[in-house]
Structure 1
């Protein structure tokens, strides 16, 4: 059995960071070697994991991949650290500037990186299905309806826009509708409508753990890959030479 992938969780005090730490404990193929939060930690070690403040990033142990769900102001430091260490980066930090996106693209020439608005493995498959449907159904109407809880402010959601980009890349002209109701975790419906027929592609998130689980899956598959910018869909299966 191969050694577990060494993971650094950046943004450990947030909801996603806490979910990553909790779910990683259940996986034998991953080892969290450090957790980083913006402010100095109250406890230096929690459940065997050493904690660091953002200003202490340079002192974290050796790691294979960093998983970053932090804030834009912390993104530059973790990207630079991954480049210095030759480690992979998985990031779901939103609100990045155009300069930060360009820096991520530049880093992909030196390290493997993934940035995604949604780490659900099901959404990655949905995006592929949308792309294929749009290519095979030219001229059909394309509508995307996304539903989320009442506390979500942005509309359309980042996932809806990503799905729309997949359709638009094949010539479709997506239209969007957003619903905010109750405690809906996230639902996305992509509808293609022709004359006399309709196709509906739907993904429903039952809980938020799926996003953390997806990020851990991607991190495990990304470690050790060639420098490149990958999508979640690229990492659904193991690397071709993983058993060689």
Structure 2
């Protein structure tokens, strides 16, 4: 199979820089383009500069040109920007890997619609370890389906703009599905004041924002006399970037379709 040529959106950001570094190291992936918003300080500079590598690929500010130069665009920016890039990928017939979180229902519908025309991997977390945790949660929820209260606790850096995280929500969805519940109906996103006793069929979420925490997630199954905790902690953004490269390679040569990391990892 030939190498897949990728374009990195948001190239100047923390995740963008990590994606560039991963693309330069990943066998079977070629960094074809990198782009960011007009006026971003690193536009016009070598994409590998911050990693101490000369690539010959300059960070541009024209998303159309960048996406046209690649087979697949990888995007971890903001929902509004990602949807613009998705429309361009759809128009140009390019594959797309979406790690952006915080989409509303309309945004998710737009992604699903695009998947009818181009291949898309859309996942709340690209890290291989996190996707292994999703499978562990399925098993735990089936075993601990009676007599255990479920709480999801997540922590991220101070700059994260959506809460709970997409990963935390997916964890809640996985558990709710295995318990035969709808997360929309049973989720509790905040507690304050006189809340009364906890209802047994709810799934609670707690959000922490501070410092430079990359991403910590714990699902707590609390029973009488025991607690079971399934936890994933990220020490850097590299696991997300490496998973994204696997997702891009998974899309190589594929036709239309909407996939997630469970598909990429063969866990479906």
Instruction: Give the TM-score normalised by structure 1.
Output: 0.84
The equivalent residue for 1:192 is: 221
For the 8 Å contact 2:5–2:72, the answer to whether it is kept is yes
How far residue 61 of structure 1 moved from its aligned partner, in angstroms, is 4.3
The count of aligned residue pairs is 237
For the 8 Å contact 1:4–1:31, the answer to whether it is kept is yes
Partner SS for 1:25: helix
For the 8 Å contact 2:9–2:77, the answer to whether it is kept is yes
> Relative to structure 1, is the Cα distance of residues 28 and 196 closer, same or farther in structure 2, using a 3 angstrom cutoff?
same
Report matched runs for 1:1-244 at 5 Å: 2-39=1-38, 41-43=43-45, 47-54=55-62, 57-58=64-65, 60-139=67-146, 140-152=148-160, 154-171=162-179, 173-180=202-209, 182-237=211-266
> Relative to structure 1, is the Cα distance of residues 203 and 43 closer, same or farther in structure 2, using a 3 angstrom cutoff?
closer
For the 8 Å contact 1:36–1:57, the answer to whether it is kept is no
Which structure 1 residue ranges, 4+ long, deviate > 6 Å from structure 2? Answer: none
* Post-superposition CA distance 1:126-177 (Å, at most 9, x none): 1121123213322222122223345546543332122111111122632222
Larger % of strand: which?
Answer: 1
* Post-superposition CA distance 1:162-216 (Å, at most 9, x none): 2111111122632222344554322211122334443221111111222222212
- Please tell me the root mean square deviation across aligned C-alpha atoms, in Å: 2.7
For the 8 Å contact 1:108–1:229, the answer to whether it is kept is yes
Q: Which runs of 5+ in 1 are unaligned?
A: 239-244
Partner SS for 1:143: strand
> Relative to structure 1, is the Cα distance of residues 58 and 191 closer, same or farther in structure 2, using a 3 angstrom cutoff?
same
Partner SS for 1:201: strand
Partner SS for 1:70: coil
Partner SS for 2:178: coil
Partner SS for 2:17: helix
Q: Hey, what's the Cα distance between the residues in 2 that align with 1:125 and 1:180?
A: 24
For the 8 Å contact 1:68–1:92, the answer to whether it is kept is yes
How far residue 14 of structure 1 moved from its aligned partner, in angstroms, is 1.6
**Which range moves more in the overlay, 208-217 or 195-204?**
195-204
**Which range moves more in the overlay, 70-79 or 3-12?**
70-79
